[in-house]
Amino acid sequence: MNFVSPTNAEELFGDAFFGAAAIEQAFGASIPEPLPPIPFSADVLQETAAQGWMLVYRTPTLAGVPFTIAAASERFPELFDARFLRQVGYQLKDEWGILLEPLAHTETPRAGWALVTKRVLPATRNRSYHEQTQILERWSEPWRKQGLVASRRLAVEAVYDCILAFRSRGERLLEREWDWSASSTLDGGYLNVGGFTPQGLQIFSYSAAVRHGALGICPQLTVAA
């Protein structure tokens, strides 16, 4: 496969291209260049760009520091809704907050390029977690035939993408939606990220049976190993 250069990819995606320059602008830290080649075909890039997707490079560390939800909330407190960081409670626990979860201090983005939808997939709204997964499986079939993997993001990847887009482009992703992630909590809930209003990003954990009209999946595409 002929790789598409970052310059050509940026021409395709415009402000929806998030490479080294956007990362440095958003996080104030440079990353080693050149970045790995963009692993998607020109046809896939053209199709997803036309549909309004974003092309993101993620790194698990910035300036030698792991990028975790806890580290991000400490570095950018104004971008998180402080009401929901600690001791807020939810359906499975009377007292819960994302910063009380061990994975908030350990989970980091998976390194590499990803194609991501900016909005949740409409068919996954108002569905249980497992129903969403089944819908994602059916939706992803055309992509699988091209050697691509369609999946949920990790919660920390959704946080990374939201901060990256806001601090480099001034764009609020997931302002009125929540992306139900692949990250599970100690008691078996699944983290969702969204509600990114001027009050800040919200992170909740729901049991798999929960459903509501603003909760869905922002699918991402990566290349099969």
Mean pLDDT of all residues in 108-136: 99
174-218 confidence digits (pLDDT tens) = 999 999 999 999 989 999 999 999 999 999 999 999 999 999 999
Q: What pLDDT shows up at residue 83? A: 86
- Report domain extents, the chain: 6-223
User: With 80 as the cut, is the pLDDT of residue 94 above it?
Assistant: no
pLDDT exceeds cutoff 90 at 161: yes
Q: How confident is the model at residue 25 (pLDDT cuts 50, 70, 90)?
A: very high
**Lowest-confidence segment of 88-92, 117-121, 136-140 by average pLDDT:** 88-92
Residue-level pLDDT at 60? 98
pLDDT at 95 (0 to 100): 67
Position 121 pLDDT exceeds 90: yes
Q: Provide the pLDDT for residue 15.
A: 98
SS3 for the chain is CCCECHHHHHHHHHHHEECHHHHHHHHCCCCCCCCCCECCCHHHHHHHHHCCCEEEEECCEECCEECCHHHHHHHCHHHECHHHCCCCCECCECCCCHHHCCHHHHCCCCCEEEEECCCCCHHHCCCCHHHHHHHHHHHCHHHHCCCEEEECCCHHHHHHHHHHHHHHHCCCCCCCCEEEEEEECCCCCEEEEEEEECCEEEEEEECCCCCCCCEECCCEEEECC
Average pLDDT, the chain: 94
The per-residue pLDDT for range 129-144, each reduced to its tens digit, is 999 999 999 999 999 9
92 pLDDT more than 70? no
What is the mean pLDDT of the segment spanning 71-87? 91
With cut-offs at 50, 70 and 90, classify the pLDDT of residue 3: confident
% of the chain exceeding 90 in pLDDT: 88
Give me the pLDDT at residue 88, please.
54
